Amino acid sequence: MAHPAQLGFQDAAAPIMEELLHLHDHAMMVVFLISAFVLYIITLLLTTTLTHTETMDAQMVETVWTILPAVILILIALPSLRILYLMDEISTPHLTIKAIGHQWYWTYEYTDYESMAFDSYMVPTQTLSSGSLRLLEVDHHTVVPTNSPTRMLITAEDVLHSWAIPALGIKTDAIPGRLNQTMFTASHPGLFFGQCSEICGANHSFMPIVMETTNLSAFEDWSTMMLQS
């Protein structure tokens, strides 16, 4: 999860988020090189007293500074489009979970199981256990197995919400009357936090999301316990 004074993204917990981090680093390097080059040119213009007359009307220079930015934009756009298509691709999932946004909590339905659903409320500050995170901990975690393609079906019952977990690279709107879907594959076990990222009302900041990723055997034990309860 994020920590105080963090400047970068959270560590990736899914292949898509790793690709997004690589794209961010690629774009930032391009921006840094362009900024350094422009600063160097400005410094030369301000410090030199000589003017090269042949560069005042040079067709070659104008051609270069027209084509070069187009090439740079293509080098940024192609990886961006690739990741965009990867994020929209829905393959055969091993598990499907339906997340329903309410004012102001989440309901999760494991559609592959019969009558397996629960509500997930934020734990009030006064009842937090030692070491728990304020405004981020919930009473029921959403548990998924690692290395298993998981499909999320996301909707809302009342107003607009948004289901987002930064470490997994997921941010999908929950719209009443509409069913949106997204897919992710958790690459390692862990506890990942998110929040509703749509301003959905007075208690908008009290709709946290906690995703717990475990190995397959631990997930099967948890699902058996949930079905028996």
Q: What confidence tens digit (pLDDT) does each residue in 193-209 have?
A: 999 999 998 989 899 99
Domain end marker among 63, 88, 113: 88
Q: Of 32, 55, 88, which one is at a domain's C-terminal end?
A: 88
117 in a domain, yes or no?
yes
Q: Where are the alpha helices (DSSP H) in the chain?
A: 15-47, 59-88, 216-228
Same-domain status, 220 and 113: yes
pLDDT band at 105; cut points 50, 70, 90: very high
Confidence check: pLDDT of 110 > 70: yes
Q: Is residue 73 part of a domain?
A: yes
Domain extent, residue 31, equals: 15-88
Tell which wins on pLDDT, 49 or 5: 5
- Number of structural domains (the chain) is 2
- Three state DSSP letters for 95-125: EEEEEEEECCEEEEEECCCCCCEEEECECCH
Q: Can you give the pTM of this predicted structure?
A: 0.84
56 and 118, same domain (yes or no) = no
Is it the case that residue 106 has pLDDT exceeding 90? Answer: yes
As a whole number, the mean pLDDT across the chain is: 90
The pLDDT of residue 64: 86
**What value does the mean pLDDT take over residues 140-165?**
95
Long-range contacts of 24-33 (CB under 8 A, 24+ apart): 26/76, 26/79, 27/76, 30/72, 30/75, 30/76
Residue 139 lies in a domain: yes
Residue 54 shares a structural domain with residue 76 = yes
Q: Do 163 and 133 sit in the same domain of this protein?
A: yes
For residues 213 and 116, membership in a common domain is answered with yes
Say whether both 147 and 38 belong to one domain.
Answer: no
CA distance 74 to 60: 21
Same domain for 150 and 61: no
Q: What angle do CA 159, 164, 167 make, to 5 degrees?
A: 175
Residues 113 and 198 placed together within one structural domain of the fold: yes
Residues 60 and 122 in one domain: no
CATH number, domain of 168, equals: 2.60.40.420
In a domain, 64, yes or no: yes
Residue 58, domain CATH = 1.10.287.90
User: Within this chain, do residues 101 and 73 fall inside the same structural domain, yes or no?
Assistant: no
Regarding whether 208 and 102 lie in a shared domain, the answer is yes
Q: What is the pLDDT of residue 54?
A: 61
User: Would the pLDDT of 220 be above 90?
Assistant: yes
Residue 2: inside a domain, yes or no?
Answer: no
**End residue of a domain, out of 64, 88, 112:** 88
Same domain, 84 and 118: no
